[in-house]
Amino acid sequence: MSGGYRAWSKVRDSGSRPEVVRRFKSGPPHCMDTLKLYWQDPYMRAFTARVIEIKDDYIVLDQTAFYPGGGGQIYDTGRIEDLIIFEVKKDNEIIYHRFKGTPKFSIGDKIKGEIDWERRYRIMKNHSASHIVYYFMLKVYGEKIKPYGSGLVDEIKDRQDYIVDDSFDVEKIRDVENLANEFIEKGYEIKTWTDENGIRHWVSGEISMKCAGTHVKNTKEIGEIKIERGKKPGRGKERIETFTS
């Protein structure tokens, strides 16, 4: 994972923390905001769009289903026509698709994009699970723990660090796992929307958080989860890793 990604993904579940972004030196300042199709429909796998800019190793489109990373969720990968898209970033509201290959299209052309859906769907499941686990972690541990850092959700797992008074004990972690699995089994709808201030919201059952990522529509899609204590991230800290089936 490149150092760049870390710089781009510092927000999670907290609309109040500003997103840390690194400007592309050669970014096209005249570009309009990229329309975010992944918010309109997180299940969109393929789309058409118009090419706004091709420069160095990136493409800007008028709209995209590629999630650019942020809020702890890793960016999507996939294809634009026959180019491999290996990294996606957002600077202000413009989304940059980094590619490998030689584009056979030009600025103004219509292209077809397709995200790696299997990977993205696993990310959506892991990300949806992360909200539920986080909620029950705070419920079980109360004031004794505080989230540390923005965490990371990719296709393998969700990872979240906590500042703790005492080391995590296995029984309490199993309690969190059971509570989360009971919640997931109930099949709550997951709703997301943008409010008048441009903040994205995530709500499912009694749980409500701010989040700009992509998620499944119903907790049933997550399936049974497993929680593990990850490698200790440092003194006074603990790591929780969540896996979906």
From the CB of 158, what's the least distance to Zn ion, in Å? 10
Give the integer Cα–Cα distance in Å for 79 and 97: 10
Nearer Cβ to Zn ion, position 85 or 123? 123
What residues have CB less than 8 Å from 178, skipping those under 6 apart? none
Beta-bridge partner residues of 227: 242
String of contacts with Zn ion for each residue 213-232, x by CB under 5 A: x-------------------
Beta-bridge partner residues of 48: 112
String of contacts with Zn ion for each residue 187-216, x by CB under 5 A: ------------------------x-x---
Give the integer Cα–Cα distance in Å for 46 and 36: 13
42 lies in the binding site for Zn ion (CB under 5 A): no
Nearer Cβ to Zn ion, position 200 or 226? 200
Nearer Cβ to Zn ion, position 119 or 232? 119
CB atoms within 10 A of CB 69: 21
H, E, C per residue of 4-50? HHHHHCCCCCCCCCCCCCCCCCCCCCCCCCCEEHHHHCCCCCEEEEE
Nearer Cβ to Zn ion, position 17 or 110? 17
From the CB of 243, what's the least distance to Zn ion, in Å? 17
From the CB of 15, what's the least distance to Zn ion, in Å? 11
Give the integer Cα–Cα distance in Å for 123 and 113: 19
From the CB of 201, what's the least distance to Zn ion, in Å? 10
**Total number of residues binding Zn ion (CB under 5 A)?**
3
Give the integer Cα–Cα distance in Å for 9 and 24: 15
Q: Which range touches Zn ion (CB under 5 A), out of 31-39, 121-129, 138-146, 160-168?
A: 121-129
From the CB of 211, what's the least distance to Zn ion, in Å? 3
Give the integer Cα–Cα distance in Å for 41 and 130: 20
Over the Cα atoms of the chain, what is R_g?
A: 19
From the CB of 172, what's the least distance to Zn ion, in Å? 24
Nearer Cβ to Zn ion, position 64 or 128? 128
Q: Which residues bind Zn ion (CB under 5 A)?
A: 127, 211, 213
